[in-house]
């Protein structure tokens, strides 16, 4: 496929690489549901998926997804320079650049994304558990943070929207 540089091709490459690395967007939607269902009992999977799509449509998010996945793949192929090769391959705990890259995703809907990101990284529900299982073949050093960050940002977007809806309702009630 031709992934030369234009906004459509960057979006398509992002979709392509997430799929190729075994990420079903629905599983990201499930993480959003996991993070938000307690606060918004009526929340639907459709709303969660819509939010995931919105996050993934942002160019800075796409850039982070593509960068992280590229590094994971190069590590799998043994193509990074030493010592980075071993650091990424072994997902060294103190490396931290995987989390830092993901912050550019977490940030897109404001700072409340940080709490969601930290929480989901700690709990590792659903797909995050799978991505963290080391099978000696797949490298997901960046991907696990990327997926958690997309879910965290999508959750923040929902929280902001729900708040805006609530404030609009209150305003209408008062008027």
**How many residues are listed for the chain in this entry?**
175
Start-to-end CA distance of the chain, whole Å, equals 55
Taking CB under 5 A as the rule, does residue 145 contact Mg ion?
A: yes
Residue nearest to Mg ion (CB): 98
| Total site size for Mg ion, rule CB under 5 A | 4
How far is it, in rounded angstroms, from Cα 18 to Cα 32?
17
Q: What is the DSSP letter of 81?
A: P
Tell me which residues in 22-41 interact with Mg ion (CB under 5 A).
none
Touching Mg ion, residues 93-122 (CB under 5 A): 98
Q: Of 19-27, 45-53, 82-90, 137-145, which segment contacts Mg ion by CB under 5 A? A: 137-145
Binding of residue 72 to Mg ion (CB under 5 A): no
* Residue 2: CB minimum distance to Mg ion, A: 30
C-alpha distances in Å from residue 92, one per residue of 98, 120, 139: 10, 19, 12
Please identify, using beta-carbon distances, which residue of 90 and 163 lies nearer to Mg ion.
Answer: 90
Q: Minimum Å distance from CB 107 to Mg ion?
A: 17
Alpha-carbon distances of 120 from 11, 71, 116, 140, 145, rounded to whole Å: 25, 22, 6, 16, 10
Least Å distance between CB 137 and Mg ion?
17
Least distance CB 160 / Mg ion (angstroms): 26
Helical packing angle, 59-76 and 7-20, nearest 10° = 40
**Best CA proximity match to 15, nearest among 67, 80, 81, 65:** 65
Nearer to Mg ion, 18 or 159 (CB): 18
Nearest distance, CB of residue 46 and Mg ion, angstroms: 29
Binding site residues, Mg ion, CB under 5 A: 98, 141, 144-145
């Amino acid at each position: 496929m031709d992934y030369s540089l234009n906004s459509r091709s960057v979006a398509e490459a992002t979709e392509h690489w997430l799929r190729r690395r075994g990420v079903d967007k629905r599983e990201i939607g499930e993480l959003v549901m996991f993070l938000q269902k307690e606060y918004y009992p009526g929340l639907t999977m459709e709303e969660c998926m819509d939010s995931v799509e919105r996050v993934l449509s942002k160019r800075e998010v796409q850039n982070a997804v593509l960068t992280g996945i590229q590094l994971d793949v190069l590590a799998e192929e043994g193509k990074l320079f030493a010592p980075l090769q071993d650091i990424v391959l072994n997902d060294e705990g103190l490396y931290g650049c995987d989390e830092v890259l993901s912050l550019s995703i977490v940030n897109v809907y404001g700072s409340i994304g940080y709490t969601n990101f930290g929480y989901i990284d700690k709990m590792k529900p659903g797909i995050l558990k799978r991505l963290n299982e080391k099978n000696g073949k797949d490298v997901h050093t960046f991907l696990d943070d990327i997926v958690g960050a997309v879910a965290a940002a999508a959750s923040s977007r929902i929280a902001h929207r729900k708040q805006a809806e609530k404030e609009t309702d209150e305003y209408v009630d008062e008027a």
